Structure 1
């Protein structure tokens, strides 16, 4: 774990990170870790409505802030397993929203750029994973906040069965529906973290345990009809999905409508009413507008909605008699920040169309990438299963993910913390780890100040980083690379080859040969300047 690189990445993104531990505190965490633990040394982020001892919990509202003395149980389990808490991430205020634009701390952009929203409410957690700052992150998910941001940043998101991960030490949104969610760059890592974090917590009245297997060859259901809100690209991406049968998802969508258009909005007031009345000016107008709709529902409305929800649950139970897993697009369309600003309420509802019903109907869900649209927007699908089918659902989801990335080897100014690393992050690239080339390269410090990697006889092994870039972003990235540098095949010391930065041999004439340093960072550490 490169503490300096992580600290630099956190400081560079105040729209993603609300608070964090300093380098000395992070090093202390690292030094205490037993390397034999299951998550030893893995850095992670925590959404800022989940308690981390010593860091303020703001829930996206500065005037609401308090500093807890102890970690939420779900955080403590991860720390006990050797993971390193980096800090707290941005969110839609009070976890109310799916856009990632409702925060006084800023509105993160998707790692794919182009003004695309990051999704919310777990905006910062998803971006911190997607940009490679951390290996995994905790979010929450009441209406889709652990799935929509995953979709818009090309990563995996697990929304466990309600209660499987304790919500003790989490600022409630809708207490009866809230989940802690897990983000990672792949399903395997997200599932591994989920298994460590879950388990009954005796003090938590919402905590549950259970498991439900799925058949070895589960019956896959897809919807009879879907609305992509005019987005032909997302519709075409979902057309890649095939199922064993079609099902009517109308009852599910009606259940989802109850969350923001029914009396469950009033449940948000159960924990926030006192603060909202005392400090209305502390709450963003759009957040306040959503919360205040809860005042319009009566107790009779709440019971009517519960009765209708029970009927819809019955319909969902019948659906599970026909299929074992339901697959839907995570979002029907995507939006830019300017498009959300035009209609923040209506377009928020569109983002949650295929996510909002899950907790009301007690389902588990896993979101995975589904490639890209022709215009470069990320596509995604979510696999749904009955409560406690989490383990089997994650296993199945691994085979559904289309990460569609290219591995790039970088040896110089695109390394983490170096001046041009942002060009990788802007195109959604994520750090896969350090590596070394095969011993057939020489590294030069070019007159331009950049390093150049040249393949040659009599070369040595050079330190590089491997980055995963969405395939649809590689062409645009290549267009920004000027001669004498180019992308080509780079041989690694494990016998594999990847795409990477190379320098044309002519440029090495008269350049300083810095091969003996073993890599650009070592050369810089010895006092070189660019």
Structure 2
């Protein structure tokens, strides 16, 4: 699986952005070096771009840049090479789903591919997989098993085996997989990389060979959480031509609470893998030391739902997805995959409806169990097996890998697989955070902090986390949220703070306004409230920044009484945010408290004065 070393091994998004800023004329030469470095014997690749296909993409990208007036501002992925799992269409390229007899030439790009190319990204190749995305192992391919990047005697995990492998080795900046039962998470855990399994319907499945349409997700592999989350925002969005695409309701929080509360299964199974068990306990200890509260919950409904995906009528959906090739020429399929697909014929329509009713009941129990928690934390996989072991028990061990993944899409949850540690035997171990639908941003915010706290190298490279990717500064503003500066009764611990917290708003930071604001204590307000007014003779006032889900912002504003309102504030560092302002007429009867520098100091002054006079 070796490839020729290049200067670009392990490049993250920021590395590529800096590269093109410093060498703007190197687009062709840089991508040519990347393409030529890919080893033809590396079975993680099923198809590499031809020189003509690479040139076509470069020409298209140059046109996009010309249309942008030469600027790269609208092309954040300019010239960034990425890999695509070979069940996802790239226009003019073959799609095989790792079944040569199934091959067709795609007439159009999958929506996710088109979205990424529109932002400047370049498809460098298509990757191996468990045939028809049926498996969590990476061994069910006529092109051979993709080997683990840390130890070739072990499996890579699947079904997105090739996408995980090339990413872990730093051959591309990110890669696309798919995840129905864990195919975007298990390979991440086995190869020390990040696997983002988004909320169903956020990333369009148009142009993706289905495995189980009701549960399929396009997933993202990256070396850093920041890169994975950013790529997902560029790839995702409502697609009216995908019947299962969904619009973001904009109600979920931008981040977790300052003291996160995680659920943990009350019964953990590692199938005799003491190394995995020890690694997960180390991860739990690290979470606790970082301020996370852990609470055991009943894992019974999660386990029951997980078992439904392969041992219930849901498997018949795979039979439908594979369709004609199974009906006409089943002998061309991988024997294990064929057996799984064939088992779908054992179920009737009655069985399917019963399975759906059971899914809904278990899903409701799962989501109720997660209420009050920021996330569920589980081992990404309870164990890791050798290639030889998989030959002996291909179905049983595959099932074991899905212990903590199979239920996720059936219960409409999102997930983020994170590197955790390197075991004593030199193999990677990972954890996965799971949360309700549309909590992707909150998982990513915590994931960035988690990854920053580790001393791990990235994937199977010798690279470490970019400072730019480590979230060392203020949390970036999300398009799904409104950042609001609060100055008085809505501050943390103040009487009206609940109007923020009950709407899933998250505190970002404490900072200051620009130096031309005055703060007044308004007369006859309950609870006492300040008024902030722009004034050249003013000062810099302490404020808190909160991110409110976009859909909850209007109802928050509706509760603000006169003379207060929401306008645009200037911060000391030059940023502009929404924030509380006051109508000038209310200042005549107000008390100037600017000298206190903030509302909290003024309130403390009042309390101190009252205590002295008592």
TM-score interval, smaller chain: 0.7 to 0.9
Alignment match, 1:29: 57
Matched residue SS, 2:183: coil
| CA spacing shift, 1:43–1:430, aligned 2, 3 Å | farther
Alignment match, 2:278: 236
| CA spacing shift, 1:6–1:430, aligned 2, 3 Å | farther
- 1:138 is aligned to 2:176: yes
Alignment match, 1:372: 422
Alignment match, 2:257: 216
Matched residue SS, 2:308: helix
In the TM superposition, what is the alpha-carbon distance from 1:10 to its structure 2 partner? 2.4
Alignment match, 1:381: 431
In the TM superposition, what is the alpha-carbon distance from 1:270 to its structure 2 partner? 1.5
Residue-pair matches, total: 415
Give the whole-Å Cα distance in 2 for the aligned partners of 1:70 and 1:344. 35
In the TM superposition, what is the alpha-carbon distance from 1:208 to its structure 2 partner? 0.7
In the TM superposition, what is the alpha-carbon distance from 1:7 to its structure 2 partner? 2.2
Matched residue SS, 1:322: coil
Alignment match, 1:405: 456
In the TM superposition, what is the alpha-carbon distance from 1:365 to its structure 2 partner? 0.2
In the TM superposition, what is the alpha-carbon distance from 1:116 to its structure 2 partner? 1.4
Describe the superposition over 1:4-59 as per-residue Cα deviations: whole angstroms up to 9, x where unpaired: 43223423443111112123532453453433311111100000000001110001
Alignment match, 1:155: 193
In the TM superposition, what is the alpha-carbon distance from 1:353 to its structure 2 partner? 0.7
TM-score between both structures, scaled by the size of structure 2: 0.65
Contact persistence 2:367–2:411 (CA under 8 A): no
In the TM superposition, what is the alpha-carbon distance from 1:391 to its structure 2 partner? 0.9
Alignment match, 1:39: 77
Contact persistence 2:224–2:465 (CA under 8 A): no
- 1:8 is aligned to 2:7: no
Alignment match, 2:530: none
Alignment match, 2:235: 197
Describe the superposition over 1:61-106 as per-residue Cα deviations: whole angstroms up to 9, x where unpaired: 0010100121011100000000011111000000000000000112
Matched residue SS, 1:182: strand
Q: Which blocks of at least 5 consecutive residues in structure 1 are unaligned?
A: 408-426, 435-530
Alignment match, 2:104: 66
Alignment match, 1:450: none
**Bigger Cα displacement from structure 2, 263-272 vs 135-144:** 263-272
Describe the superposition over 1:234-258 as per-residue Cα deviations: whole angstroms up to 9, x where unpaired: 1111112144311112211110100
Contact persistence 1:368–1:380 (CA under 8 A): yes
- 1:17 is aligned to 2:55: no
Describe the superposition over 1:261-311 as per-residue Cα deviations: whole angstroms up to 9, x where unpaired: 001100111122322010111101111011111011112211222222122
Describe the superposition over 1:316-367 as per-residue Cα deviations: whole angstroms up to 9, x where unpaired: 1221223121100000010111111110000000011110000000000000
Q: How does 1:77-88 map to 2 (within 5 A)?
A: 77-88=115-126
Give the whole-Å Cα distance in 2 for the aligned partners of 1:81 and 1:365. 25
Give the whole-Å Cα distance in 2 for the aligned partners of 1:431 and 1:76. 29
Give the one of 51, 57, 82 matched to 2:89: 51
In the TM superposition, what is the alpha-carbon distance from 1:112 to its structure 2 partner? 0.3
Give the whole-Å Cα distance in 2 for the aligned partners of 1:5 and 1:100. 28
- Which structure is larger by alpha-carbon Rg, 1 or 2? 2
Alignment match, 1:95: 133
Matched residue SS, 2:371: helix
Alignment match, 2:404: 354
Describe the superposition over 1:406-430 as per-residue Cα deviations: whole angstroms up to 9, x where unpaired: 59xxxxxxxxxxxxxxxxxxx9226
Give the one of 345, 356, 359 matched to 1:309: 359
Give the whole-Å Cα distance in 2 for the aligned partners of 1:191 and 1:256. 26
| CA spacing shift, 1:118–1:403, aligned 2, 3 Å | farther
Q: Which blocks of at least 5 consecutive residues in structure 2 are unaligned?
A: 1-26, 66-71, 467-614
TM-score between both structures, scaled by the size of structure 1: 0.75
Give the whole-Å Cα distance in 1 for the aligned partners of 2:32 and 2:119. 23
**Bigger Cα displacement from structure 2, 128-137 vs 398-407:** 398-407
Give the one of 176, 182, 188 matched to 2:214: 176
Matched residue SS, 1:86: strand
Alignment match, 2:153: 115
Give the whole-Å Cα distance in 2 for the aligned partners of 1:46 and 1:183. 10
Matched residue SS, 2:46: strand
Give the whole-Å Cα distance in 2 for the aligned partners of 1:67 and 1:374. 45
Contact persistence 2:170–2:460 (CA under 8 A): no
| CA spacing shift, 1:276–1:236, aligned 2, 3 Å | same
Alignment match, 2:484: none
Alignment match, 1:281: 331
Give the whole-Å Cα distance in 2 for the aligned partners of 1:403 and 1:59. 36
Alignment match, 1:340: 390
